[in-house]
C-alpha cells in the first residue's frame, strides 16, 4: 500500500518534481494554494488613498492642450489606485476617471456592455445623451449610462466641463463578456424630449402602465438639488451614528440600485460630526461635494475638501470627521455583490 509522506521528511523535492510534472498537464495542487484562494477575511489589493482635486484638475486641463476629444475619443485621466498600478482601476472592480469636455467639443456616440455613471465635478453646460434622450448635466448631478445604451456627450457652453466617470468594465472583463461598437454617426438620433425620463421618474411618481424592461433605472439624471434638499430636510432629525444622514440612489421602479452592478449614495455629515466605525465588503469611492473634513480608513487618513476624491478598500474600518457641515457622494460595487448574495457590512458594536 502507498502511504503519503508527511511534510518536513525530506520529500519536498519529490513533491516539487510532482508539481512540475502535473504542470505539463495543466494541473496544480490545491493544497499549496488554498489559503490564498479562500481567505478568512477580504485581503484587498485596493489601497486606501485620496486625490486632491486641484492637481488632478490641473493635469486634466493640461491634457486638454495636448489632444482633442476627437483624437482621444474620451479625454479621460484614469484615477488609478496605488495598489493596482497599471490596471486602470480605482478599486479592484471599478474604473474611475476624470473626463474633460472643452467648450464646443462633442464626444461621439458609442455603446458598450460596461455600464457607466457620471458625477459632475464642475461646469453646467454639457449634456449627455443616452439612447435618444438628452439631459443637461449640472454640478453634483449623478447621471447613469446603463449597459449597452448609445451615449454621446457635448459641451454647448463657454466653460470647460469635468465629470467623474465610474464604470464596471472590470466586472464585465472578469466574465470576459465585453462588446463595444461605434454608432455610424457622431450622434445617435434624439427620440424623446430633453429630460423626458426625469419628468416621468424623477419625483416618486411612475407612469401608469409602466413596465420594467431593463435591470437599469429608467431615470437618466439624479439631480443634486433634489438630493441636497432631501438631505437638508432629513438633517432636522437626529443623525444615524454610523452614516450621519445618508440616502441611496435607487431605481424608482424597483427600489433597488440604479444599475445592476453599481450602487451610489449621498450623505450629509453635520458640523463637527464623527461617524462610528463602519466596514463593508464594497470598496467605496467618495467625492466631497461640500464642506471639509477627514476620513480614517484603517491606518490611512485623508483630509478632504470640496471635489477631493478618496477610496476605502473592502472591509477597511472607516470613520469620517466633518469640519463644517459636509456632503459626500459615493459609489461602489455593492449592487453587484448584493445581486450575488455576498455583500456584508459591520457596524461598530455600540451602534448595531
Ligand atoms: O464615456 O463611454 O471614462 O467608455 C472610460 C471608458 C468613459 C465613456 C470612460 C468609456 C467612457
Q: Is 126 in the pocket of ligand 1 (CB under 6 A)?
A: no
- How high is the pLDDT of residue 11? 84
Q: What are phi and psi of 129, to 5 degrees?
A: -120, 130
Can you tell me the distance from the alpha carbon of 325 to that of 230, in angstroms, rounded to the nearest whole number?
A: 15
CATH architecture of 49-351: Sandwich (2.60)
- 116 CB within 6 A, ligand 1: yes
Domain boundaries, the chain: 49-351
Question: How far away, in angstroms, is 49 Cα from ligand 1 center?
Answer: 22
Long-range contacts of 222-225 (CB under 8 A, 24+ apart): 222/141, 222/142, 222/143, 222/144, 222/249, 222/258, 222/264, 223/138, 223/141, 223/198, 224/120, 224/138, 224/139, 224/140, 224/141, 224/142, 224/289, 225/138, 225/140
Q: Is 79 in the pocket of ligand 1 (CB under 6 A)?
A: no
pLDDT along the chain (352 residues), means of 10: 57 95 98 96 98 98 96 96 98 98 97 98 98 97 98 98 98 98 96 96 94 97 98 98 98 98 98 98 99 98 99 98 98 98 90 52
Distance 198 CA to ligand 1 centre (A): 23
Give the closest residue (by CA) to ligand 1 atom 10: 74
Q: Which atom of ligand 1 is nearest to the CA of 169?
A: 6
Q: Is 113 in the pocket of ligand 1 (CB under 6 A)?
A: no
**Cβ contact 127:199 at 8 Å:** no
pLDDT at 277: 98
pLDDT of residue 59: 98
Distances (CA, A) of 211 to 147, 149, 217: 19, 18, 12
| C-alpha of residue 267 to centroid of ligand 1, in Å | 26
Rounded CA-CA distance 232/314 in Å is 29
Amino acid at each position: 500500500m502507498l502511504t503519503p509522506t508527511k511534510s518536513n521528511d525530506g520529500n519536498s523535492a519529490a513533491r516539487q518534481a510532482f508539481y512540475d510534472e502535473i504542470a505539463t498537464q495543466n494541473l496544480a495542487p490545491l493544497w499549496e494554494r488554498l489559503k490564498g484562494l479562500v481567505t478568512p477575511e477580504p485581503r484587498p489589493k485596493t489601497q486606501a488613498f485620496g486625490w486632491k482635486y486641484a492637481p488632478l484638475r490641473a493635469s486634466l486641463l493640461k491634457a486638454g492642450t495636448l489632444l482633442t476629444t476627437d483624437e482621444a475619443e474620451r479625454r479621460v485621466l484614469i484615477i488609478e489606485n496605488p495598489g493596482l498600478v497599471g490596471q486602470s482601476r480605482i478599486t479592484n472592480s471599478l474604473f474611475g476617471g476624470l473626463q474633460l469636455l472643452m467648450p464646443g467639443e462633442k464626444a461621439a456616440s458609442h455603446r458598450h456592455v460596461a455600464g457607466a455613471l457620471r458625477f459632475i465635478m464642475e461646469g453646467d453646460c454639457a449634456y449627455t445623451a443616452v439612447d435618444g434622450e438628452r439631459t443637461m448635466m449640472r454640478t453634483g448631478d449623478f447621471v447613469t449610462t446603463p449597459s449597452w445604451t448609445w451615449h454621446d456627450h457635448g459641451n454647448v457652453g463657454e466653460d470647460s466641463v469635468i465629470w467623474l466617470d465610474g464604470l464596471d468594465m472590470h466586472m464585465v472583463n472578469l466574465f470576459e463578456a465585453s462588446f463595444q461598437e461605434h454608432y455610424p454617426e457622431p450622434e445617435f438620433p434624439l427620440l424623446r424630449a430633453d429630460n423626458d425620463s426625469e419628468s416621468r421618474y424623477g419625483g416618486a411618481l411612475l407612469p401608469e402602465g409602466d413596465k420594467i424592461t431593463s435591470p437599469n433605472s429608467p431615470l437618466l439624471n439624479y439631480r443634486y438639488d433634489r438630493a441636497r434638499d432631501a438631505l437638508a430636510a432629513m438633517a432636522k432629525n437626529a443623525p444615524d451614528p454610523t452614516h450621519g444622514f445618508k440616502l441611496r440612489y435607487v431605481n424608482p421602479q424597483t427600489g433597488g440600485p440604479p444599475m445592476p452592478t453599481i450602487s451610489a449614495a449621498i450623505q450629509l455629515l453635520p458640523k463637527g460630526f464623527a461617524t462610528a466605525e463602519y466596514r463593508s465588503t464594497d470598496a467605496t469611492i467618495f467625492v466631497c461635494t461640500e464642506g471639509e473634513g477627514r476620513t480614517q480608513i484603517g491606518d490611512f487618513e485623508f483630509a478632504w475638501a470640496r471635489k477631493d476624491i478618496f477610496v476605502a478598500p473592502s472591509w477597511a474600518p472607516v470613520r469620517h470627521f466633518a469640519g463644517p457641515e459636509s456632503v459626500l457622494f459615493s459609489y461602489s460595487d455593492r449592487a453587484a455583490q448584493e445581486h450575488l448574495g455576498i455583500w456584508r457590512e459591520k457596524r461598530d458594536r455600540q451602534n448595531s
